[in-house]
Amino acid sequence: MARIVAREEMAQGTIILNEIEASRISQKAKPGQFVILQADEKGERIPLTMADTNPEKGTITIIYMVVGKSTARFKNLKIGDDFYALIGPLGTPTHVEKVGKVVCVGGGTGIAVLHPIAQALKKAGNEVTTILGSRSYDLLIMEEQMRAASNHFHICTDDGSHGHHGFVTDVMKDILEKEDIDLVVAIGPIPMMKFCSLITKEKNVKTLVSLNPIMVDGTGMCGCCRVTIGNDTKFACVDGPEFDGHKVDFDELAKRLASYLDDEKKSLEAYEKCNTQ
């Protein structure tokens, strides 16, 4: 059991933050790692990267978007409720060292994944420039936390409601033209990571991305999370979730993630209908 001690609805209620009691995980977790949670005994196992850890309080923070039945079940859990199961930390931590100038690019719930990585890179002595993007300003999450983890900070919105009117790749491309950047970390929707990686590949700038394929056990046993990296097949749960963005087959990843979209939608609609009757 893992008790929820704090809860916040973000981005018009579509993204939920939970702070959860997990003392042993909070002591060991490193940036880039994730946990797997289960709402109840019959619930689906959901992998989520930790947005923050607090070893002193013995808690971890997860942030997720409600997209299907399982995350809708998560949303129904309130402060004082327990997740049925929690396991972690899982995955390979981010390799953090002082490399010089780093650009961190985040979008959607990928911002939550990016947060501890940006913090660690800044703490290691890097000059961190952060670019965050969302469809509109009211859907942006973790602005103040990411601003605190950065030396330079930019916001992009598709509709122009705040910051740069356009995509994160516009601002990133401008920075790469003006400065010598040593590392780019891009985490967010697949198209965003794909186009960031295409741009940085032209500039020969090392780029890390965090992948979120379908995952079941999280230990490398089931093979569901396999991704193609260069000429090799890797398992995101144990070999990742971070990989060289220049080697990722993003098109294959997108197709695999789309495999159950219709089922996910039907499942959510049936669950919501059942809970409103």
CATH of residue 62? 2.40.30.10
User: Could you tell me if 183 and 249 lie in one domain?
Assistant: yes
User: Could you tell me if 84 and 131 lie in one domain?
Assistant: no
Write down the pTM of the prediction: 0.93
Task: Say how far apart CA 233 and CA 71 lie, in whole Å.
Answer: 29
Single-letter amino acid, residue 100: G
pLDDT of residue 262: 83
Task: Say how far apart CA 235 and CA 83 lie, in whole Å.
Answer: 26
User: Could you tell me if 241 and 191 lie in one domain?
Assistant: yes
Region 251-267: mean pLDDT is 87
More confident residue, 25 or 270: 25
pLDDT above 90: residue 101: yes
pLDDT above 80: residue 276: no
Task: Say how far apart CA 159 and CA 168 lie, in whole Å.
Answer: 13
Structural contact between residues 150 and 127, judged by C-beta atoms closer than 8 angstroms: no
Per-residue pLDDT band at 151 (split at 50, 70, 90) = very high
CA angle 89, 94, 95 (to 5 degrees): 135
Contacts by residues 166-173 (CB-CB < 8 Å, ≥ 24 positions apart): 167/133, 167/192, 167/195, 168/105, 168/106, 168/107, 168/131, 168/132, 168/133, 168/192, 168/196, 169/195, 169/196, 169/199, 171/131, 172/103, 172/105, 172/131, 172/196, 172/199, 173/199
Task: Say how far apart CA 234 and CA 255 lie, in whole Å.
Answer: 16
Neighbours of 224 (CB within 10 A): 15
Bridge partners, residue 59, by sequence: 21, 54
User: Could you tell me if 194 and 213 lie in one domain?
Assistant: yes
pLDDT of residue 277: 56
User: Could you tell me if 22 and 129 lie in one domain?
Assistant: no
Task: Say how far apart CA 222 and CA 126 lie, in whole Å.
Answer: 38
User: What does DSSP assign to residue 208?
Assistant: E
Region 150-165: mean pLDDT is 96
Phi, psi of 127 (to 5 degrees): -90, 110
pLDDT of residue 23: 95
User: Which residue carries 């936390």 as its tokens?
Assistant: 145
Domain extent at residue 54: 2-90
Query: pLDDT tens, 223-253?
Result: 899 999 999 999 999 999 999 999 999 999 9
User: Could you tell me if 115 and 211 lie in one domain?
Assistant: yes
User: What does DSSP assign to residue 172?
Assistant: H
- What is the number of domains present in the chain? 2
Residue 104: both structure tokens together: 């961190």
User: Could you tell me if 85 and 108 lie in one domain?
Assistant: no
pLDDT above 90: residue 106: yes
What are the residues whose beta carbons fall under 8 Å from the beta carbon of 146, sequence distance 6 or more? 104, 106, 111, 114, 115, 118, 130, 132, 153
Region 6-32: mean pLDDT is 94
